[in-house]
Each structure stands twice: as C-alpha cells, then as structure tokens.
Amino acid sequence: MKSLKDVEPETMVVVKEITGGLDVKQHLEELGVKEGVELNVVATEPVHVHWGPISLAVGDREMITARGWGDKIYVEKGGEMLPLLRLEEGDKGTVRSIEGGKDFEGFLSEYGIMEGSELTFLRHVPDRTMVFTIEGAEIKMGEGQASKVFVTREGKTIQINYLKESEKAAVEKIVGGTHIKEKFEQLGIKAGAEITLLRKETPAPTPKRGTYILAKVGEQLITIGHGLAEKVLVE
C-alpha cells in the first residue's frame, strides 16, 4: 500500500485504509472517500497562489465562495474548462458543470448559479479570522468557513461575512454536509440562534506551498490536499 499523495496521475486505485481521527474520516467520507472506494487520480495540481475564498458576482448579486465550493463549480473561459477557483480578478466564465451533488446544486440555484449562468470573479478574499459571539460564547472562524453560515438581516438572507462590526442577526441555515453542520451546532450555530460579529482579524500573510490531488469518485471530481492525501492508503 502507499498514500494517495504518491499515486501518479491517470491511475485508478482502491482505498484500503484511512488513518487519522474521526474528523479526518468524516471529512473524507463527505467527499465520497472511504475504505473500498475506487478513485481515479486525474492530476496532481500546484496550490494556487490565491488558494482561499473568493468573492463572485452573479447578475447584481455578490457572494463569497469557500475554497471547496470554488473547486466544485466548473466554468468555461475562452474555450477552456477550469474550476471557478482558478479564475483571476475580473474574469468572467460560464458555468458548465457543478460537481457537488443535487443538494449543492439546489442551494447554488437559489443564488442564480446553475449550468449556463455567467459568473464574474470579483476578488480574492483575505482569509481573515472572524470573531463572533453566540449564546454568550466567543467563537472564531475563517472567511471560507463563515461563508457557509447564512443569516436573516432586514428580511434578506446574507452570509455572515457581510455583517458589520457589532451587528446582530438570526442564523437561518448552514450550507454543507452533515459533518459541517454538526461541527457548527457544537459551537451553538444553528437555525434561530442570534449571532453577533465582533471584529475581523487579519493574520500575517503566509506563503501557500505544496500541491493537491484532483481525483474522480464515480462521476464526481474532488480535490484533496496533500495533508489529507497522506492519510489515505491505497493500492
């Protein structure tokens, strides 16, 4: 056996064992990666210099897209098919494929993102630490993680990234798999809870190094960072 990170591109392998804790196994299982599953390693890609959340526009609406979302939305730009995350500021692309399953497709369609939609990559979002209070407790999360929490403000649904300092709002929904929702619920973030943005902290810049694995499970394309790929043993 060897780890997934050591598999050459264009190779089919079978997952034999996943090392690491329960969080690792649950996260990978949400991607469809578990013992006995066949994986087709499509490519080993360098990590993009702006490997993080992005702000995009669909029509006159703006939203923040977490890194994992940006890799599941494939767009056509200049005759080339590529993940949304690989666009640059100001680029436009037409959605050609969404790889996240029916629930994910349904959620995105509420925001006008579906096959044939035109998107504009507005800017890279610094992955700042956002500090909130909820039910008397202080919690922290990055911009990408926060983008999965939607609240109601003045009758409109927005991501908590768009709250202003000291602004309160009621949590409406969390977008993501079972593991993400359970993790948020442990922090007290669930429908109906009141959450307040205290501040945003900008960390010192750190270089993004390394590579990630682009693989196919059935008909779904997924990306796995090398840290996780090391924990997947295959043959």
Residues 14 and 62 in one domain: no
* Residue from 116, 96, 111, 103 nearest 177 by CA: 103
Residue 47 has pLDDT above 70, yes or no: no
CATH code of the domain in which 20 resides: 2.30.30.90
Q: Specify whether the CB–CB gap between 101 and 178 falls below 8 A.
A: no
In this predicted model, what pLDDT tens digit does every residue of 115-165 receive, in sequence order?
Answer: 999 999 998 887 789 999 998 899 999 898 899 999 998 888 999 999 999
**Same domain as 110, residue 157:** no
pLDDT of res. 94: 95
Given a contact cutoff of 8 angstroms between Cβ atoms, the answer to whether 113 and 52 are in contact is no
Q: What is the largest CA-CA distance in the chain?
A: 55
Q: State residue 49's pLDDT score.
A: 58
Is pTM beyond 0.75? Reply is no
Do 118 and 150 share a structural domain?
no
Cα distance between residue 86 and residue 42, in whole Å: 17
Residues 40 and 89 placed together within one structural domain of the fold: no
- Eight-state DSSP code of residue 182: H
Same domain, 117 and 139: no
Does the pLDDT value for residue 185 go beyond 80? yes
Q: Note the pLDDT of residue 190.
A: 92
- Give the per-residue pLDDT at 48: 60
- Taking 80 as the threshold, does the pLDDT of residue 175 lie above it? yes
94, 124, 154: which is the final residue of a domain?
A: 124
* Strands, E assignment, the chain: 2-3, 11-18, 38-46, 54-58, 61-65, 73-77, 80-83, 92-98, 118-124, 129-134, 137-142, 149-153, 156-159, 168-174, 194-201, 211-217, 220-225, 232-234
Domain count, the chain: 3
Residue 2 has pLDDT above 70, yes or no: yes
- Phi-psi map region of 98: left, alpha, beta (phi>0 left; psi -120 to 50 alpha): beta
Q: Show the domain range for 156.
A: 129-201
